[in-house]
Structure 1
């Protein structure tokens, strides 16, 4: 009975964490370039239950009753990097990546970060930045990395990927052999301890953004299912608690 309480409790804790993760996904449905997170579930070790109360000729014999699980828990968080829908905005400073790469940014701390959110702006010095002020990194034909300086917002991105009036710069698009090595950071950015490759296969589309890859209908349906599962575990926990209360207070009492 006590083990059943722990099993139901771990189920409730797991469902709560899943709901929090799903709620975060839903909250970012309208965040450009957002990639949804999924939680991998693992089960705790099972134990084999045996009954040794059977005696024959002074010897005890075991009777296997079956296995008991100790509930489930969270194994890891897995980010899904599937392509989001590309939506035209008509804004000249909006860019979308059609492919698996990431825009390369450099923060105030000098560290590289990566994002799929292409909603850019121009700072007071004429450099292309994210909405949070991180400068966008470009690369020229010689492989030299530079910040992209555009001065005016009406610049064009050529069909060859060159950014107009930047001295032959393209967006530095980074790719990773294992995208699960990326770590989510603030403001819809990612960081990585591994050295990325230069992505030459992704297409950059101006006047557009990549929408979140969260499916609203699927997310809301999953949230309802999780809430019902949580309530089921809660009812089981309450029933076990009531049964234990009766066992302690009523069974074997003298009347």
Structure 2
């Protein structure tokens, strides 16, 4: 009976963490480029009381075994990299990747971070940066006398200078992608970093060799579906309650046994 207490408690702990993950998804429903997470569970060790296929005293074979499990644990969280909803902004430096790929950002420690958040700005030196001031890689400078910025679907960046009508090309945005994007490490600020599990980094031009195209004046919003997360929240809550009922039932059975009198 003590086994039931610990087994059910492991279920409560797992569902509590599951609700934490669902809550984070709901909190980021309006975060640009956010990718929803999903909890994945794994059953724990089993106590084998009778092995399947063992021989009985009569020389026959047991067709089934007798095993008792010891609960559940949260084994991992996986990210869904399906395309998020599209929001039209009309801003020249709002960029969205339609398909596979990440923008590259120079982080303060000198390493490169990767993001799907295409909400860019221009800093005091004319460089294209994100909301935290991290510089888009490769670096692009917008001239002071530029009146408009044009970004092509292949990432080509052009500007129209004051007094001129024809655009002048100043550079190109390079995209990166990974064999296993679910292996990326989330560090916050809409940025991920590679790991050994994410595989080798591949660089390329938007719209070529499987990379997505770039849409100017649009942002990719979160791919969180509120209704789906609310259903998951209800299921997790009910699972938590059921495990608490199992603990109560085990406790009542122990109490009954404790109250036996000869």
Shorter-chain TM range is: 0.7 to 0.9
CA distance in 1: counterparts of 2:12 and 2:154, whole angstroms: 53
1:98-155 CA distance string (max 9 Å, x none): 01100000012111000001111111111111111111113xxxxxxxx121245831
Equivalent in the alignment of 1:89: 89
Q: 1:159 offset after TM fit, Å?
A: 4.6
2:103/2:175 contact within 8 Å kept: yes
CA distance in 1: counterparts of 2:78 and 2:204, whole angstroms: 23
Equivalent in the alignment of 1:156: 150
Change (3 A) 1:246 1:121: same
Ranges in structure 1 where 5+ consecutive residues have no aligned partner: 51-55, 57-61, 139-146
Task: Tell me how large the CA RMSD over aligned residues is.
Answer: 2.1
Equivalent runs, 1:1-40 vs 2, <5 Å: 1-40=1-40
Q: 1:195 offset after TM fit, Å?
A: 4.4
1:163-185 CA distance string (max 9 Å, x none): 01485411121011121231111
CA distance in 1: counterparts of 2:193 and 2:78, whole angstroms: 15
2:179/2:200 contact within 8 Å kept: no
1:29/1:214 contact within 8 Å kept: yes
CA distance in 2: counterparts of 1:195 and 1:49, whole angstroms: 46
TM-score for both structures, normalised by structure 2: 0.82
Aligned length: 233
Q: 1:17 offset after TM fit, Å?
A: 0.7
CA distance in 2: counterparts of 1:168 and 1:196, whole angstroms: 25
Q: 1:66 offset after TM fit, Å?
A: 2.5
Equivalent in the alignment of 2:54: none
Equivalent in the alignment of 1:59: none
1:6/1:70 contact within 8 Å kept: yes
